[in-house]
Amino acid sequence: MSQWVSVCALSGLDDPGAHGFSHGDDAWPLHGFVVYIGGELHAWVNRCPHAGHRLDWAPHRFLTRDRRLVMCASHGAVFEPNTGLCVGGPCPGARLTRLPVRVNAAGDVEVDAAAAQAH
């Protein structure tokens, strides 16, 4: 069963841009982020497949300087923002965990938090 939660307003995202979020309680918090690039939204669990660390180096800071790739602050792994594929660093070929994402009628970005519990 889906559990759609609002994480930010689409109008608040740059293109390209990213926004981190947390949802849930202390026992099972979901840490994730959305990336808006090329007019497309993508949502990911905020966990590097290399070491399990969070990716952001500061709140909402997920992208490389040129804003073309997602970068892990811990070990420098870089990922394609639209596929989650690691294209450089310590885990080439690994992937981020995707979350279903949509924009509701009010213009808010929503992710399906229940989908993350399945992983």
> Considering the entire predicted model, what is its pTM?
0.93
Sheet holding 108-112, edge to edge: 4-9, 108-112, 101-103
CB 59 within 8 A of CB 76: no
| Cα torsion 86, 3, 9, 11: sign | positive
Which pLDDT belongs to residue 53?
Answer: 92
Domains of the chain by residue range: 4-117
The predicted pLDDT at position 116 comes to 75
Q: Which CATH superfamily is domain 4-117 in?
A: Rieske [2Fe-2S] iron-sulphur domain (2.102.10.10)
**pLDDT in the model for residue 24:** 83
pLDDT tens over the chain, length 119 residues: 889 999 999 999 999 999 999 998 766 689 999 999 999 999 999 999 998 999 998 999 999 999 999 999 999 999 999 999 999 999 999 999 999 999 999 999 999 998 876 55
What pLDDT does residue 119 have?
Answer: 54
